[in-house]
Amino acid sequence: MSAKSTLFRSALLSLHRSGLHGLAPARLSGVGIVFMLHRVRPQQDLQGFEPNGILEITPDYLNAVLTAVSALNYDLVSLDEAHRRLRERQFDRKFAVFTLDDGYQDNLEFAAPLFAKHAAPFTVYLSSGMPDHTTELWWVGLEEVIRKVDQIEVEIGETEFRLPTLSSDEKQDAFNAIYQPLRDLPQSEQRTLINKLCEKYEVDLLKITADCSLSWDEVRELSDHAYCTIGAHTVDHYALSKLTEQEARRELVQGADRIKQETGQWPRHLAYPYGDTGSAGPREFELAKFLGFDTATTTQKGFVTEKHGSNPYAIPRLSLNGDYQDLRMLEVLMSGLPFALASLLPSLEIA
Protein backbone atom coordinates (compact mmCIF):
# COMPACT_ATOMS: atom_id res chain seq x y z
CA MET A 1 0.00 0.00 0.00
CA SER A 2 1.34 3.43 -0.92
CA ALA A 3 2.13 6.12 1.64
CA LYS A 4 -0.65 8.21 0.10
CA SER A 5 -3.19 5.44 0.63
CA THR A 6 -2.00 4.87 4.20
CA LEU A 7 -2.38 8.57 5.00
CA PHE A 8 -5.83 8.77 3.44
CA ARG A 9 -6.97 5.66 5.30
CA SER A 10 -5.91 7.26 8.57
CA ALA A 11 -7.81 10.44 7.71
CA LEU A 12 -10.99 8.53 6.89
CA LEU A 13 -10.83 6.47 10.06
CA SER A 14 -10.22 9.63 12.11
CA LEU A 15 -13.29 11.22 10.55
CA HIS A 16 -15.29 8.11 11.36
CA ARG A 17 -14.20 8.18 15.01
CA SER A 18 -15.12 11.85 15.24
CA GLY A 19 -18.67 11.15 14.05
CA LEU A 20 -18.61 14.29 11.91
CA HIS A 21 -19.66 12.36 8.82
CA GLY A 22 -22.97 11.65 10.53
CA LEU A 23 -23.65 15.38 10.70
CA ALA A 24 -22.92 16.04 7.02
CA PRO A 25 -25.94 17.53 5.19
CA ALA A 26 -27.52 15.22 2.60
CA ARG A 27 -26.78 17.67 -0.22
CA LEU A 28 -23.04 16.86 0.06
CA SER A 29 -23.66 13.39 -1.38
CA GLY A 30 -25.78 14.47 -4.33
CA VAL A 31 -28.75 12.47 -5.57
CA GLY A 32 -26.91 9.21 -6.11
CA ILE A 33 -23.63 7.33 -6.39
CA VAL A 34 -22.05 5.36 -9.20
CA PHE A 35 -19.58 2.90 -7.71
CA MET A 36 -16.55 1.88 -9.77
CA LEU A 37 -14.95 -1.56 -9.46
CA HIS A 38 -12.54 -3.57 -11.56
CA ARG A 39 -11.71 -7.04 -10.29
CA VAL A 40 -13.60 -9.04 -7.64
CA ARG A 41 -11.79 -12.15 -6.43
CA PRO A 42 -10.48 -13.77 -3.24
CA GLN A 43 -7.38 -12.27 -1.66
CA GLN A 44 -4.27 -13.28 -3.62
CA ASP A 45 -0.99 -14.36 -2.03
CA LEU A 46 1.43 -12.13 -3.92
CA GLN A 47 4.31 -12.12 -1.40
CA GLY A 48 3.93 -8.46 -0.53
CA PHE A 49 4.16 -7.11 -4.09
CA GLU A 50 0.73 -6.19 -5.42
CA PRO A 51 1.00 -2.81 -7.15
CA ASN A 52 -2.32 -3.30 -8.91
CA GLY A 53 -4.08 -4.51 -5.78
CA ILE A 54 -5.91 -1.21 -5.63
CA LEU A 55 -7.89 -2.44 -8.66
CA GLU A 56 -9.50 -5.38 -6.88
CA ILE A 57 -11.69 -6.15 -3.91
CA THR A 58 -12.72 -9.43 -2.31
CA PRO A 59 -16.16 -11.02 -2.72
CA ASP A 60 -16.66 -10.75 1.05
CA TYR A 61 -16.14 -7.00 0.90
CA LEU A 62 -18.49 -6.59 -2.06
CA ASN A 63 -21.13 -8.57 -0.19
CA ALA A 64 -20.67 -6.31 2.85
CA VAL A 65 -20.88 -3.16 0.69
CA LEU A 66 -24.12 -4.27 -0.95
CA THR A 67 -25.63 -4.95 2.48
CA ALA A 68 -24.41 -1.62 3.87
CA VAL A 69 -25.55 0.52 0.95
CA SER A 70 -29.04 -0.98 1.12
CA ALA A 71 -29.11 -0.39 4.88
CA LEU A 72 -28.35 3.28 4.24
CA ASN A 73 -31.64 3.47 2.29
CA TYR A 74 -30.17 3.71 -1.18
CA ASP A 75 -32.12 2.20 -4.06
CA LEU A 76 -29.87 -0.20 -5.97
CA VAL A 77 -30.65 0.59 -9.59
CA SER A 78 -29.41 0.06 -13.13
CA LEU A 79 -27.80 2.77 -15.23
CA ASP A 80 -30.99 2.85 -17.30
CA GLU A 81 -33.03 3.58 -14.18
CA ALA A 82 -30.52 6.15 -12.92
CA HIS A 83 -30.67 7.87 -16.30
CA ARG A 84 -34.48 7.89 -16.18
CA ARG A 85 -34.49 9.45 -12.71
CA LEU A 86 -32.04 12.12 -13.82
CA ARG A 87 -34.04 12.88 -16.96
CA GLU A 88 -37.35 13.05 -15.10
CA ARG A 89 -35.83 14.78 -12.05
CA GLN A 90 -37.07 12.09 -9.68
CA PHE A 91 -34.92 12.73 -6.63
CA ASP A 92 -37.11 11.61 -3.73
CA ARG A 93 -34.76 8.71 -2.93
CA LYS A 94 -31.02 8.38 -3.40
CA PHE A 95 -29.78 5.67 -5.71
CA ALA A 96 -26.62 3.60 -6.09
CA VAL A 97 -25.29 2.05 -9.29
CA PHE A 98 -22.52 -0.56 -9.44
CA THR A 99 -20.16 -0.63 -12.43
CA LEU A 100 -17.14 -2.81 -13.22
CA ASP A 101 -14.52 -1.76 -15.77
CA ASP A 102 -12.59 -3.68 -18.44
CA GLY A 103 -14.19 -7.15 -18.59
CA TYR A 104 -12.55 -9.56 -16.14
CA GLN A 105 -13.70 -13.18 -15.84
CA ASP A 106 -14.03 -12.84 -12.07
CA ASN A 107 -16.88 -10.36 -12.65
CA LEU A 108 -18.94 -13.36 -13.75
CA GLU A 109 -17.50 -15.92 -11.37
CA PHE A 110 -17.51 -13.96 -8.11
CA ALA A 111 -19.35 -10.64 -8.55
CA ALA A 112 -22.45 -11.62 -10.54
CA PRO A 113 -23.75 -14.13 -7.93
CA LEU A 114 -23.47 -11.49 -5.22
CA PHE A 115 -25.33 -8.88 -7.25
CA ALA A 116 -28.05 -11.46 -7.91
CA LYS A 117 -28.20 -12.35 -4.21
CA HIS A 118 -28.87 -8.69 -3.37
CA ALA A 119 -31.12 -8.08 -6.40
CA ALA A 120 -28.62 -5.37 -7.38
CA PRO A 121 -28.31 -4.32 -11.03
CA PHE A 122 -24.75 -3.89 -12.31
CA THR A 123 -22.94 -2.85 -15.47
CA VAL A 124 -19.79 -4.40 -16.91
CA TYR A 125 -18.01 -1.85 -19.09
CA LEU A 126 -16.29 -4.06 -21.65
CA SER A 127 -13.19 -3.30 -23.68
CA SER A 128 -13.91 -5.50 -26.69
CA GLY A 129 -10.24 -6.35 -27.02
CA MET A 130 -10.47 -8.25 -23.72
CA PRO A 131 -12.56 -11.19 -25.00
CA ASP A 132 -10.81 -10.84 -28.35
CA HIS A 133 -7.49 -11.21 -26.46
CA THR A 134 -5.92 -8.28 -28.30
CA THR A 135 -5.84 -5.65 -25.54
CA GLU A 136 -2.49 -5.27 -23.79
CA LEU A 137 -3.02 -4.85 -20.04
CA TRP A 138 0.26 -2.98 -19.84
CA TRP A 139 0.03 -2.21 -16.13
CA VAL A 140 -0.28 -5.94 -15.37
CA GLY A 141 2.51 -6.74 -17.82
CA LEU A 142 4.77 -4.28 -16.01
CA GLU A 143 3.88 -5.91 -12.68
CA GLU A 144 4.67 -9.40 -13.99
CA VAL A 145 8.02 -8.33 -15.47
CA ILE A 146 9.08 -6.78 -12.17
CA ARG A 147 7.81 -9.78 -10.22
CA LYS A 148 9.97 -12.09 -12.35
CA VAL A 149 13.32 -10.29 -12.39
CA ASP A 150 15.99 -9.14 -9.93
CA GLN A 151 16.72 -5.98 -11.94
CA ILE A 152 14.78 -4.12 -14.60
CA GLU A 153 16.26 -2.01 -17.38
CA VAL A 154 14.07 0.09 -19.63
CA GLU A 155 14.34 3.38 -21.51
CA ILE A 156 11.26 5.61 -21.59
CA GLY A 157 11.64 8.77 -23.60
CA GLU A 158 14.84 10.47 -22.51
CA THR A 159 15.06 8.54 -19.24
CA GLU A 160 16.86 5.25 -18.76
CA PHE A 161 15.79 3.16 -15.78
CA ARG A 162 18.09 0.54 -14.26
CA LEU A 163 16.50 -0.51 -11.00
CA PRO A 164 17.03 -3.36 -8.52
CA THR A 165 13.96 -5.54 -7.95
CA LEU A 166 15.12 -8.17 -5.46
CA SER A 167 12.90 -7.37 -2.47
CA SER A 168 9.20 -6.58 -2.40
CA ASP A 169 10.02 -2.98 -1.47
CA GLU A 170 12.43 -2.66 -4.39
CA LYS A 171 9.85 -4.13 -6.73
CA GLN A 172 7.24 -1.64 -5.52
CA ASP A 173 9.69 1.26 -5.88
CA ALA A 174 10.54 0.17 -9.42
CA PHE A 175 6.87 -0.10 -10.37
CA ASN A 176 6.18 3.35 -8.91
CA ALA A 177 9.11 4.85 -10.83
CA ILE A 178 8.17 3.37 -14.21
CA TYR A 179 4.37 3.36 -14.11
CA GLN A 180 3.61 7.05 -14.66
CA PRO A 181 6.21 7.72 -17.38
CA LEU A 182 4.88 4.67 -19.21
CA ARG A 183 1.27 5.75 -18.77
CA ASP A 184 2.08 9.27 -20.03
CA LEU A 185 3.52 8.09 -23.35
CA PRO A 186 1.58 8.50 -26.59
CA GLN A 187 -0.61 5.43 -26.78
CA SER A 188 1.07 3.67 -29.70
CA GLU A 189 4.52 4.24 -28.16
CA GLN A 190 3.27 2.93 -24.83
CA ARG A 191 2.01 -0.33 -26.31
CA THR A 192 5.13 -0.79 -28.44
CA LEU A 193 7.36 -0.29 -25.43
CA ILE A 194 5.46 -2.65 -23.10
CA ASN A 195 5.46 -5.34 -25.80
CA LYS A 196 9.24 -5.00 -26.20
CA LEU A 197 9.73 -5.01 -22.43
CA CYS A 198 7.64 -8.16 -21.98
CA GLU A 199 9.39 -9.87 -24.89
CA LYS A 200 12.79 -8.98 -23.41
CA TYR A 201 11.91 -10.56 -20.07
CA GLU A 202 9.84 -13.42 -21.52
CA VAL A 203 6.45 -12.39 -20.20
CA ASP A 204 3.51 -13.28 -22.49
CA LEU A 205 1.48 -10.09 -22.46
CA LEU A 206 -1.51 -11.37 -24.42
CA LYS A 207 -1.64 -14.56 -22.34
CA ILE A 208 -2.17 -12.28 -19.33
CA THR A 209 -5.22 -10.88 -21.10
CA ALA A 210 -6.50 -14.31 -22.14
CA ASP A 211 -6.09 -15.69 -18.62
CA CYS A 212 -8.07 -12.97 -16.84
CA SER A 213 -10.67 -11.77 -19.36
CA LEU A 214 -14.22 -12.83 -20.07
CA SER A 215 -14.76 -14.92 -23.19
CA TRP A 216 -17.47 -13.89 -25.63
CA ASP A 217 -19.59 -16.81 -24.42
CA GLU A 218 -19.27 -15.43 -20.89
CA VAL A 219 -20.08 -11.91 -22.12
CA ARG A 220 -23.25 -13.29 -23.68
CA GLU A 221 -24.06 -15.07 -20.41
CA LEU A 222 -23.76 -11.75 -18.59
CA SER A 223 -25.75 -9.95 -21.28
CA ASP A 224 -28.60 -12.40 -20.63
CA HIS A 225 -28.24 -12.06 -16.84
CA ALA A 226 -31.31 -10.61 -15.15
CA TYR A 227 -29.31 -7.88 -13.40
CA CYS A 228 -26.45 -7.16 -15.81
CA THR A 229 -25.98 -4.50 -18.48
CA ILE A 230 -23.00 -4.61 -20.85
CA GLY A 231 -21.53 -1.16 -21.41
CA ALA A 232 -18.79 0.08 -23.74
CA HIS A 233 -15.18 0.73 -22.76
CA THR A 234 -13.56 1.14 -26.22
CA VAL A 235 -11.57 -1.57 -28.03
CA ASP A 236 -8.08 -1.44 -26.54
CA HIS A 237 -8.38 0.71 -23.43
CA TYR A 238 -6.53 3.72 -24.84
CA ALA A 239 -6.63 7.10 -23.11
CA LEU A 240 -8.93 8.79 -25.63
CA SER A 241 -7.63 12.31 -25.09
CA LYS A 242 -4.19 11.13 -26.25
CA LEU A 243 -5.64 10.06 -29.61
CA THR A 244 -6.67 12.15 -32.56
CA GLU A 245 -10.41 12.77 -32.80
CA GLN A 246 -10.66 10.27 -35.65
CA GLU A 247 -8.80 7.63 -33.63
CA ALA A 248 -10.92 8.26 -30.54
CA ARG A 249 -14.12 7.98 -32.54
CA ARG A 250 -12.90 4.73 -34.08
CA GLU A 251 -12.11 3.27 -30.64
CA LEU A 252 -15.59 4.15 -29.39
CA VAL A 253 -17.51 2.98 -32.46
CA GLN A 254 -15.58 -0.21 -33.10
CA GLY A 255 -15.73 -1.25 -29.45
CA ALA A 256 -19.50 -0.75 -29.33
CA ASP A 257 -20.01 -2.38 -32.74
CA ARG A 258 -18.03 -5.44 -31.65
CA ILE A 259 -20.24 -5.81 -28.57
CA LYS A 260 -23.34 -5.58 -30.75
CA GLN A 261 -21.91 -8.16 -33.13
CA GLU A 262 -21.46 -10.65 -30.29
CA THR A 263 -24.49 -9.87 -28.09
CA GLY A 264 -27.00 -8.41 -30.53
CA GLN A 265 -27.23 -5.15 -28.57
CA TRP A 266 -25.37 -1.89 -29.08
CA PRO A 267 -24.30 -0.68 -25.61
CA ARG A 268 -26.19 2.34 -24.27
CA HIS A 269 -23.65 3.29 -21.63
CA LEU A 270 -19.94 4.15 -21.81
CA ALA A 271 -17.00 4.46 -19.43
CA TYR A 272 -13.90 6.33 -20.59
CA PRO A 273 -10.69 4.31 -20.10
CA TYR A 274 -8.68 5.72 -17.17
CA GLY A 275 -11.37 8.40 -17.02
CA ASP A 276 -9.34 11.12 -15.31
CA THR A 277 -9.14 14.69 -16.57
CA GLY A 278 -6.01 13.85 -18.56
CA SER A 279 -7.71 10.97 -20.37
CA ALA A 280 -11.22 12.25 -21.08
CA GLY A 281 -12.43 15.81 -21.44
CA PRO A 282 -14.91 18.01 -23.31
CA ARG A 283 -14.04 16.53 -26.72
CA GLU A 284 -14.69 13.00 -25.48
CA PHE A 285 -17.91 14.06 -23.74
CA GLU A 286 -19.19 15.52 -26.99
CA LEU A 287 -18.19 12.40 -28.89
CA ALA A 288 -20.13 10.21 -26.45
CA LYS A 289 -23.19 12.40 -26.92
CA PHE A 290 -22.84 12.53 -30.70
CA LEU A 291 -22.49 8.75 -30.97
CA GLY A 292 -25.73 8.23 -29.09
CA PHE A 293 -24.71 6.84 -25.72
CA ASP A 294 -27.26 7.50 -22.97
CA THR A 295 -24.63 8.05 -20.26
CA ALA A 296 -20.87 8.11 -19.89
CA THR A 297 -18.86 7.83 -16.69
CA THR A 298 -15.43 9.09 -15.72
CA THR A 299 -13.14 8.17 -12.84
CA GLN A 300 -13.32 11.67 -11.44
CA LYS A 301 -14.35 11.37 -7.82
CA GLY A 302 -17.74 12.54 -6.67
CA PHE A 303 -21.48 12.03 -6.70
CA VAL A 304 -24.28 12.16 -9.22
CA THR A 305 -26.05 15.51 -8.94
CA GLU A 306 -29.11 17.08 -10.51
CA LYS A 307 -26.96 18.75 -13.17
CA HIS A 308 -26.15 15.37 -14.67
CA GLY A 309 -29.73 15.18 -15.88
CA SER A 310 -28.86 17.67 -18.60
CA ASN A 311 -25.28 16.46 -19.08
CA PRO A 312 -24.97 12.71 -18.43
CA TYR A 313 -21.66 12.39 -20.30
CA ALA A 314 -19.27 13.26 -17.47
CA ILE A 315 -20.71 11.38 -14.52
CA PRO A 316 -18.21 10.94 -11.66
CA ARG A 317 -17.81 7.74 -9.69
CA LEU A 318 -16.77 6.54 -6.25
CA SER A 319 -14.09 3.88 -6.34
CA LEU A 320 -14.34 0.62 -4.42
CA ASN A 321 -10.72 -0.47 -4.33
CA GLY A 322 -8.33 -2.73 -2.54
CA ASP A 323 -6.74 -0.15 -0.28
CA TYR A 324 -9.99 0.86 1.41
CA GLN A 325 -11.87 -2.37 2.14
CA ASP A 326 -13.41 -1.13 5.36
CA LEU A 327 -17.07 -0.20 5.80
CA ARG A 328 -16.16 2.60 8.18
CA MET A 329 -14.22 4.33 5.42
CA LEU A 330 -17.01 3.68 2.92
CA GLU A 331 -19.54 5.28 5.26
CA VAL A 332 -17.39 8.41 5.56
CA LEU A 333 -16.89 8.63 1.81
CA MET A 334 -20.60 8.18 1.13
CA SER A 335 -21.38 11.11 3.44
CA GLY A 336 -19.64 13.45 1.01
CA LEU A 337 -17.68 15.08 3.83
CA PRO A 338 -14.18 14.26 2.49
CA PHE A 339 -15.08 15.80 -0.87
CA ALA A 340 -16.44 18.93 0.78
CA LEU A 341 -13.23 19.26 2.80
CA ALA A 342 -11.16 18.70 -0.35
CA SER A 343 -12.98 21.56 -2.10
CA LEU A 344 -12.03 23.85 0.80
CA LEU A 345 -8.47 22.51 1.00
CA PRO A 346 -7.19 21.99 -2.55
CA SER A 347 -4.03 20.32 -1.23
CA LEU A 348 -6.18 17.50 0.17
CA GLU A 349 -6.37 14.91 -2.60
CA ILE A 350 -9.09 12.28 -2.42
CA ALA A 351 -7.54 8.90 -3.25
pLDDT digits (tens, 9 = 90+) for 236-290: 999 999 999 999 999 999 999 999 999 999 999 999 999 999 999 999 999 999 9
User: At 20, is the pLDDT very low, low, confident or very high (cuts 50, 70, 90)?
Assistant: confident
CB 277 within 8 A of CB 300: yes
341 vs 47: which has the higher pLDDT: 341
Q: Are residues 26 and 90 in the same domain?
A: yes
pLDDT at residue 25 in the model: 85
pLDDT at 48 over 70: yes
CB 184 within 8 A of CB 74: no
pLDDT digits (tens, 9 = 90+) for 194-246: 999 999 999 999 999 999 999 999 999 999 999 999 999 999 999 999 999 99
pLDDT at 56 over 90: yes
Instruction: State mean pLDDT over 68-94.
Output: 97
Instruction: State mean pLDDT over 55-81.
Output: 98
Give SS3 for 94.
Answer: coil
Q: Are residues 241 and 333 in the same domain?
A: yes
pLDDT at residue 186 in the model: 96
Give CA–CA dist 118/21, Å, rounded. 26
Q: Are residues 202 and 269 in the same domain?
A: no
Instruction: State mean pLDDT over 107-128.
Output: 99
Q: Are residues 247 and 339 in the same domain?
A: yes
Whether residue 146 is contained in a domain is answered as yes
Give SS3 for 29.
Answer: helix
pLDDT at 41 over 90: yes
pLDDT at residue 350 in the model: 60
pLDDT at residue 340 in the model: 86
pLDDT at residue 26 in the model: 86
Percent of the chain past pLDDT 70, that is, above it, reads 97
350 vs 293: which has the higher pLDDT: 293
Q: Are residues 196 and 244 in the same domain?
A: no
User: At 187, is the pLDDT very low, low, confident or very high (cuts 50, 70, 90)?
Assistant: very high
Query: Residue 31 is part of a domain; what is its CATH number?
Result: 3.20.20.370
pLDDT at 121 over 80: yes
Residues 6 or more apart whose CB falls under 8 angstroms from that of 9 comprise 1, 323, 324, 326, 329
pLDDT at residue 126 in the model: 99
Q: Are residues 124 and 9 in the same domain?
A: yes
pLDDT at residue 206 in the model: 95
CB 161 within 8 A of CB 154: yes
Q: Are residues 185 and 277 in the same domain?
A: no
* Residue 144 lies in domain: 138-206
Instruction: State mean pLDDT over 326-350.
Output: 81
Q: Are residues 38 and 56 in the same domain?
A: yes
User: How many domains, the chain?
Assistant: 2
pLDDT at residue 345 in the model: 63
Give SS3 for 219.
Answer: helix
pLDDT at residue 11 in the model: 84
Instruction: State mean pLDDT over 164-168.
Output: 97
pLDDT at 351 over 80: no
pLDDT at residue 346 in the model: 56
**Three-state secondary structure of 75-88:** EECCHHHHHHHHHH
Q: Are residues 41 and 120 in the same domain?
A: yes
Q: Are residues 152 and 180 in the same domain?
A: yes
